Structure 1
Amino acid sequence: MASNDPLILSLDEGTTNAKAILVNRAGGVVARSSQPLSVAHPQAGYAEQDPMAIWQAMLAAIEGCLSQTSAPIAAIAISSQRESVLAWERSTGKPLSPLVSWQCRRSSGFCEALISDGHADLIRELSGLAADPMFSGGKMRWILDSLPDGQARAEEGEICLGTVDSWLLWQLTEGAVFATDASNAARTQLMSLGTVNWCPRLLDLFHIPLCALPEIRPSAGCFGETSTFGRLPPGVPVMSMVGDSHAALFGQGGFLPGHVKATLGTGSSLMTPLPQLTPSIPGLATTVAWQTVGTTYALEGNIVHTGAAVGWASRLLGAGEDLDGLTAEAALLPNNGGVYFVPALGGLGAPHWRPDARGLICGLTDASTRAHIMRATLEAIAFQIRDVFEAMQQACSIPLGELWVDGGATRNEWLMQFQADLLQRPVIRSLSPEVSALGAAHLAGFALGWWIDSAALADLDRPRQRYEPRQAISPEIYAQWKHALSRTLLQA
C-alpha cells in the first residue's frame, strides 16, 4: 500500500483519554496518539470534566497522529463516551456547564421523583432505559435548572444540550453542524427506540426543549466538514459518529445475534445484537447498536465500576506506581481468603439498577493483606460480568457462546482466565488497544465504500487471544459473591 494512500482519522474521546488513530484500507492502524484526561469530583456523587480541556486534548491527539504521516485524510470518524452531557451557548460556542459525566449521580433526586411518580415503566418502554441518573436526560434537567434562566434560554434556542460526540462535531465544524447519531441519542432517555427520533412524550416528561437538542442522524454518513486546525486541513468529511461501546461491538465484528462483547474500561458494557426491536428487559437496556442502511438494535448491560474500582482500590492501598506489582501479587494468592468487594462506589448498574447502593468490603480477618483486597477487586469485575451475562442469556432466545472482550483491564491475563473459568465459556481478548476507534473507522469506511457490507468488514484482520475454561470455579465462591451483593443491597 502506497504511503500516500488516503487514511481515516478516527477519534476516540473516552473518560480518561482522548485518542486518535489513522486507519488504512486494510483496516490496520498506521499511527496513534493519546492525551490523558482528568475527572473532577467536586462533592460526593459528582463527576465532571472540562469541555474545553477535552477539546484541547483531542486537538493534541490529532496533531500527534497527523505528524506521523503526510498521507491525505479521507474522512474523520468519532467514537465517544456516552451519556455524559454539557450545555453551550449557541451563538458563541462557549460552554455553560461542565461536562456532567456518565458516572455522575447529581440527578439522583430527579430520577427518584420520576420513579415515585410512576414514570419508570414509560421511560423504559419508550427509550429502553432505566430511570437512572447514569443517563443523560436527568443530567440535562439538572443543567438547565442550575443555569440562570436556563429553561427560558433553552426554549428560545440560545442553549445547546449535547453529548460528547455533538460537542466534538460542533468544534470540528466551528459551529456549522449540531448533530448526534442514533446510538448516542439512544442513551439519553429522550429518544424513541421505535421511531429513532426525539420522543415528544419523553421531552415533556423531562421538560427538555426540542430546539436545544441536536439533530439525530444515522451513525454512518456525512455529518459535516472540518475547518482548519493545525495539520488538519479544511473540508475533511466527518463520516461516522457512534458511542464507544457500540463502536467496540462493531469493531469486534459483532454483527449477528449471539455475539456478545464486554468492554472493560472505567466501567464496563456488555452488548449483544438483537434480531429485532424487542420490549426492554428489567435489569438490562435495549438500545440502538448503530444505524446504517437500517437500524441494528442491541441488548446491553452497564456496570458502573470496573477499571474505576481498580483505580480506587489502588489509591486506598497506596499502590502508587506499583499497581502492576500489586495485581501480580494478588494473582499469586491461592484464593481470595474469603474477602469480597462489591464496588458500588456510585451505585450499582445492571442488572440491579440501584443508584442508592454503596460499596462494601467484607470477609476481612487479621490474615487479610493488601493483595487480598486487590484480588477481591479483580474478582468483582468477573463476578459483575457474569451477573450481566446470565441476565442476557435469560433474555435472549439465542444461546450466547464465547465472550469477546476489549479494554484496558483485559491486559490482566489472570483476570481473563478467571473470567473464562467463571463463565465456563471461552473468553476472546482483542489485542488491539483501540477497538472503539477501529469500530468508528470501520463505520466511516463503510460510508466511504471502502468495505461494502458486513462480510467485507468481518474479513478484516482482528488479532485476538483465546482463553479456554480450564477449571470450574467452585459454586461456593460465586455464592459468597451473591451474599456480599445482597448485603450491599440491604444496606442501601
Structure 2
Amino acid sequence: MKEKKMRLVIDQSTSGTKLLLVRNGNILKRYDKTHQQLHPESGWVEQDALEIWDNVKGLIDLAMTTNKLDSTMIASLSITNQRETIIAWDKETGLPLYNAIVWQCNRSQDICKRLISQGKEAVINSKTGLKLDPYFSGTKIKWLFENVPIIAEKSTAGKLALGTVDSWLIWNLTQGKVFATDTTNACRTLLFDINELRWDEELLEMFGATRSDLPDVKESSTIFGYYKGVKIQGVMADSQAALVGQKCTQYGEVKLTLGTGASVLMQMDGNGFIRDTQVMTTIAHANQGKVDYAMEGIIRSCADSINWFQKQITTFSDIDHACNLVLETRSNEEVYFIPALQGLASPFWTNNATGLFVGMKLTSNRRDLLRAILESIVFQVKSIIDVMEEVADKKIKCIKVDGGVTKNHQLMKMLATILGKEIIINNVEELSAIGVYSIVEKVTETITLNQSIIDPINNSVFQEKAALIHRFESWKKLISRFEEKEDK
C-alpha cells in the first residue's frame, strides 16, 4: 500500500498540550508539554494564553524537526481543545488582554446569582441547553466586561476578540487571518442558540458582548485556514470529540471521559429538545449539514481531586499503585469525601460547596481518605447516570470509558458494579484526538482501539455491593445538606 502523508493532531487540554503524529491510522509519535495553572485568588483558575500558544507551536516545530518533515509531507492539522476556557485578545496586536479564564474558575458566581434573580435562566436554558453557571464562558465574558476596563474599550473600537482555546490557536496558526470556531465549542459559551445554530443577539446583550467580538462559527470538518501551507481541518471540543472517537452514534450510547474533570455524554434522538436543569443538552457534532445532539453531565473534580490530595495533603511514592491498592483492601472505616474543590456540577449545581472529609476517627488514615476520594468519583458518575435515565426515559446498557483514571482497574470494577452496567474501557488515551482526526476529509482509515470489558459483579459473588449502595446513599445525603444550605 502506498504510504500516505502524515497528519498532525493537537490535543490542547486543561493540564497541557499533546501533539500526535498519525499516518495510515497509526499513532506514530506523541509529544507532550504541560502549562501552569494559576490561582490568583481562592476559586479562581487562570492560564497564560501565550504559554499555551508557545507550547503548541513548540511541539509542532519539534515534531517537524525530529521527524525531518516539511509542509508538503503533512496532509492536515486538526485541533481538539478544553472547552469553556475563554481568552480575550487584541485583534491588532494579537496579544492577550487578560489571562485565559479556565472552565474550572468560579469567579462569576455573583453574576450568575444576579441573572438568576432577574429571571434569565429559563431563556438561557431554552436557547443554549445549558445551565446558568460559572462553568460556562458567557459568565466569564461578563466578568471581563465588568472588571477589566480595556475589554469594553477594545470592544467599542471593534478591536476585541473573544474566543475559546480553539479560536485562539486558529488565530495564531493563521497569523490573524482567520477568526473562527466550530459548533461544538460555540455551543458551550451561553451565547449560541443550539436550535438556530447562531450567535443570539439577546444572549449577547445579556452577557455584554457584541457580534464583532466573536468568531465565525463553522462545521467541525471545515477547512479553517492554513499553517505554513498545511490545511487546518477538523476542530472539535474535547468531550464531543471523544464521543466521536468512542463511536457513540446511536440513541442511548454513552461515553464517560475521566480526566481532570469528567464528562458524561449520551447520544440523543431527535432534535435535542430535551431541557433539564440537572443535566444539559449540547451539540454532539455538526458536519455536512447534519446536527446531532447529546445529553451531558459534567463533574468538576475527578483526577483533579486525586492530584490535589497527592500534592497538597500527603504524598504516595506511586499514586497509581496506591489508588488500586486501597480499593483492593477491606476497610471498616466509613469516611466520605465531598469533591467540591471548585463547587459541584451535575446534577447538584452547588457552587458554594467546598471540599470536605466526613466520618474521620482516630483509626482513620490517609488510605481511607484516598479511598473516599476514589469512591466520590464513582458516586458522582452514578448520580448523573441515574438522572439521565430518568430524563431520557431510557435504560442505558453500557458505558464506554476513557481517560487517565481508567488505569485504576479496581475503580472501574466498582463503577460497573454500582451502575449494574457493562463498562467498556478504551485503553487508548487519545480518544479526543482520534475523534477529531476521524472527521477530516479523505480520512478513511480508523485507529484501532484497545478495548477491555468489565461486567458488573453479581451480588451473590460480590458481597460488598449492598454496602457500596449504602455508602452511595449516605454520600448523597451529605451532598443534600449543601443543596439545602445554598437554597436558603
Scaled by the length of structure 2, what TM-score is found? 0.94
Superposition pairs of residues 459-470 of structure 1, within 5 angstroms: 461-470=448-457
Structure 2 residue 88 is the aligned partner of structure 1 residue 90: no
- Tell me the residue number matched to 2:410: 414
Specify every segment of 5 or more residues in structure 1 that has no aligned partner in the other structure, as ranges.
227-233
Distance in structure 1 (CA, Å) of the matches to 2:332 and 2:175? 53
- Tell me the residue number matched to 1:140: 141
Q: By how many angstroms is 1:355 displaced?
A: 1.2
Distance in structure 2 (CA, Å) of the matches to 1:322 and 1:430? 23
2:32 to 6, 9, 34: 34
- Runs (4+) of structure 1 exceeding 6 A deviation are none
- Tell me the residue number matched to 2:180: 179
Distance in structure 2 (CA, Å) of the matches to 1:419 and 1:143? 40
Q: By how many angstroms is 1:487 displaced?
A: 2.9
Indicate conservation of the 8 Å contact 1:382/1:419, yes or no: yes
Moved more, 329-338 or 412-421: 329-338
1:485 to 460, 479, 485: 479
Indicate conservation of the 8 Å contact 2:145/2:208, yes or no: no
Distance in structure 2 (CA, Å) of the matches to 1:65 and 1:465? 31
SS in 1 for 2:110: helix
Residue identity (%)? 33
Q: Do the aligned partners of residues 219 and 92 (structure 1) sit closer, same or farther apart at CA in structure 2, a change above 3 Å counting? A: same
Q: By how many angstroms is 1:235 displaced?
A: 1.2
Distance in structure 2 (CA, Å) of the matches to 1:328 and 1:334? 12
Q: By how many angstroms is 1:461 displaced?
A: 2.4
Superposition pairs of residues 171-250 of structure 1, within 5 angstroms: 171-226=172-227, 234-250=228-244
- Tell me the residue number matched to 1:53: 51
Q: Partner amino acid for 1:42?
A: P
Superposition pairs of residues 3-402 of structure 1, within 5 angstroms: 5-25=4-24, 27-70=25-68, 72-226=73-227, 234-276=228-270, 277-293=272-288, 294-319=290-315, 321-335=317-331, 337-402=333-398
SS in 1 for 2:161: strand
Q: By how many angstroms is 1:430 displaced?
A: 0.7
Q: By how many angstroms is 1:320 displaced?
A: 5.4
Q: Partner amino acid for 2:418?
A: L
Residues matched between the structures, number:
474
Indicate conservation of the 8 Å contact 1:45/1:104, yes or no: yes
Q: By how many angstroms is 1:363 displaced?
A: 1.1
- Tell me the residue number matched to 1:229: none
Q: By how many angstroms is 1:369 displaced?
A: 0.7
SS in 1 for 2:269: coil
Q: Partner amino acid for 2:482?
A: T
Q: By how many angstroms is 1:488 displaced?
A: 3.3
Which has the higher relative contact order, 1 or 2, with Cα contacts under 8 A spaced 6 or more apart?
Answer: 1
Distance in structure 2 (CA, Å) of the matches to 1:65 and 1:263? 27
Q: Partner amino acid for 2:322?
A: L
2:423 to 424, 427, 431: 427
Q: By how many angstroms is 1:284 displaced?
A: 0.7
Q: By how many angstroms is 1:41 displaced?
A: 0.8
Q: Partner amino acid for 1:441?
A: Y
SS in 2 for 1:220: coil
SS in 2 for 1:253: coil
Indicate conservation of the 8 Å contact 1:317/1:370, yes or no: no
Q: Do the aligned partners of residues 383 and 148 (structure 1) sit closer, same or farther apart at CA in structure 2, a change above 3 Å counting? A: same
Q: By how many angstroms is 1:256 displaced?
A: 1.5
Indicate conservation of the 8 Å contact 1:417/1:467, yes or no: yes
Distance in structure 1 (CA, Å) of the matches to 2:150 and 2:60? 37
Scaled by the length of structure 1, what TM-score is found? 0.93
Q: Partner amino acid for 2:428?
A: S
